[in-house]
Amino acid sequence: MLGAVLYSLIEVAFRGFTHWTMALTGGLAYLLIYITNIKIKTRSLTLRCLSGCLIITALEFIVGCIVNRKLHMNVWDYSQQPGHILGQICPLFSLIWFFISFPAMLLSFFIKGRLFSTDSKN
């Protein structure tokens, strides 16, 4: 739920609106980033941000092909961006996802530490 809400807020802040499919995609992306970040927590920050970027970009492509191309909901269109693939993903937004992955990872460690700690002080 946290990923759904946070992604929707980011999108509203920058685009002025969002779509329910983006809330679902943001929620799934954050869940996958959370799981991946826990599994590769000893790896470099660059590798962890790259994995977050790849997760979000892959989900964006899959959801975009379904929602935008198959169902014609026209939620987003990157066809004016250089290097786009079918108008669903592009290098610029993948770079943005790379940098957004960093706070998402920090939040995942905070959540894991606060909610799933075996320490009796929490």
pTM score, two decimals? 0.86
For residue 54, what pLDDT is reported? Answer: 97
Taking all residues of the chain, what is their mean pLDDT, rounded to a whole number?
91
Buried b (16+ CB within 10 A) or exposed e, 52-69: bbbbbbebbeebbbebbe
Q: Find the distance separating the first CA and the last CA of the chain, reported in whole Å.
A: 22
Task: Sort 19 into a burial class: Cβ within 10 Å, 0-12 / 13-18 / 19+.
Answer: middle
Residue 77 counted as domain residue: yes
Residue 114 counted as domain residue: no
Residue 33 counted as domain residue: yes
pLDDT tens sequence for the chain (122 residues): 888 999 899 899 988 999 999 999 999 999 999 899 889 989 999 999 999 999 999 999 999 999 999 999 999 999 999 999 999 999 999 999 999 999 988 887 787 777 776 655 54
Residue 111 counted as domain residue: no
